[in-house]
Structure 1
Amino acid sequence: MKGLVWGYEKIEEWINMRVVQKLENVPQENIITPPLQIAGPTIEALRYTGEDNEIRELYANLLATSMNKETLHKAHPGYVEILKNISTDEAILLKNFVTTKIYPCIDLHSQYPNGSFFW
């Protein structure tokens, strides 16, 4: 079980590496301590998702966003709970929404035997 859960030392090491990389182009005067209601649950969640690179990167983005006073308003504490509840595939889709500007859309409807439609 110990090998499945990241320890706080490993989380600290990873945050010091990855989040610092994400903040390297942010002016030093804009870097702030992240709000505890974001940092605390994020660190705890990383214990169980640390081996999942896709979700781990989303946590790093959230922490980095919350550590920049220019982007702090975009970091909502509820995002931690959302990330806890998504799969790796869903994390990949979320990352693609950031870089993709065109999204296919499908409009489905069904016609019942009595002639009414369901949208």
Structure 2
Amino acid sequence: MTDPHVVVASTVAAAQAAATVTPRTVEQIDKFGADVAKSVRLLLFPFQIGGALQDRLERYIDRAIRQVPEERRIEPVESVAYPIVEKLRFQPEHDPITELYIQLLSRAMDRERVGEAHPAFFTVITQMAPDELIFLHDFASRDETLIMSPVGQKIYPDPAWRRARLDKSELSVDIRQEVEDQTFTYEALSQPELFPVYQEHLQHLGLIEYHNQRARHYKQLDLKTRDDSELSIFSMRITHLGRLFLKACAKDISRAVTPAPSAV
């Protein structure tokens, strides 16, 4: 089986060869339809696969191109575009990770937004699980997010456990509601029991971080007595890199997950 790194490394030469198929550059093509068709062919040239997979890949590329206004289209940045197309060959439709690839590919062909298409974001996408994208959107919806975690353990705190923790804090109704609104929406994840894994991985990728400042109402959330099974409460936030990643790769960062009614 061909090493994928070899395939990606050879794409620059392949793209040059494609000039025999598409002799004029994207910027020299006047008609919208011809522009899209030739750009698709240029990107597809190094990745010839059969039948339905080829058709699907062509649709992905077509979508990425059409999201860029015609007057802003440029030839794709090869270091970003070709690795993405190589990955898209086998990405399923209606998959949130597929959408990240398509959005990043679109940025690589947009004169005004090409600077957002940092090559590192491709590597981030290759490592992300769909739940981690939900996780990141949830963090992006707040300045800081409260996390509840068993002291010294990495375990998902279920709703009953979280409610019991807040009951012991004896918060006023208003403050409790504010705390619940600021608490991570664990149940938005398809596998909330993997929350600790996602948290650690997103920290490793540099997309989220512990908050340096104490969370609002922190003192009121402290318990006078606690035991080893008690939930600690701390705050985290999305990093600047995390927000840049969503800006580049999420179709609409403003739709960052709207927390469902809290189960805390």
Same-fold call, TM > 0.5? Answer: yes
Structure 1 residues 107, 97: CA separation in 2 closer, same or farther (over 3 Å shift)?
closer
Output the CA distance in 2 between the equivalents of 1:40 and 1:53: 20
TM-score by length of 1: 0.67
Higher relative contact order (CA 8 A, sep 6+): 1
Measure the CA separation in 2 of the matches of 1:57 and 1:79: 13
Distance in 1 between the 2:66 and 2:144 partners?
Answer: 30
Higher-Rg structure is 2
Which residue number in structure 2 is paired with residue 44 of structure 1? Answer: 86
The whole-number CA distance in structure 1 between the counterparts of 2:148 and 2:137 is 24
Q: Which of 131, 138, 146 in structure 2 is aligned with 1:105?
A: 146
Is 2:65 aligned against 1:13?
no
- Shift of the alpha carbon at 1:107? 8.3
What SS class does the counterpart of residue 58 from structure 2 fall into? Answer: helix
Aligned to 2:95: 53
CA shift for structure 1 position 49:
2.5
Indicate how the Cα distance of structure 1 residues 52 and 87 shifts in structure 2: closer, same or farther if over 3 A, else same: farther
* Distance verdict in 2 for CA 1:95–1:68, change over 3 Å: farther
Is 1:66 matched with 2:99? no
Q: CA RMSD in A?
A: 2.8
Percent identical: 29
**CA distance in 2 between partners of 1:29 and 1:97 (Å):** 35
What letter corresponds to residue 29 of structure 1 in structure 2? E
What does residue 3 of structure 1 align with? Answer: none
The aligned counterpart of 2:67 is 22
SS of the residue aligned with 1:92?
Answer: helix
| Cα deviations by residue, 1:72-116 (Å, 9 ceiling, x for unpaired) | 111011211111111111123345556x24441348777xxxxxx
**In the superposition, relative to structure 1, how do residues 31 and 64 fare at CA in structure 2: closer, same or farther (>3 Å)?**
same
What secondary structure, in the 3-state scheme, does the structure 1 residue paired with 2:146 have?
A: coil
8 Å CA contact 2:97–2:130 kept in 1: the answer is yes
Q: Which residue of 121, 134, 149 corresponds with 1:79?
A: 121
1:60 partner letter = I
2:76 maps to: 34
Q: Does the aligned pair in 2 maintain the 1:58–1:91 contact within 8 Å?
A: no
- Residue 60 of structure 2 aligns with an amino acid whose one-letter code is W
The amino acid across from 2:61 in the alignment is I
Give the conservation status (yes or no) of the 8 Å contact 2:65–2:109: no
Q: Normalised by the size of structure 2, how large is the TM-score? A: 0.33
2:24 corresponds to = none
- Uncovered stretches (5+) of structure 1, i.e. residues with no partner: 1-5, 111-119
In structure 1, what is the Cα distance between the partners aligned to 2:71 and 2:139?
30
Query: Relative to structure 1, is the Cα distance of residues 53 and 73 closer, same or farther in structure 2, using a 3 angstrom cutoff?
Result: same
Q: CA deviation at 1:50?
A: 2.9
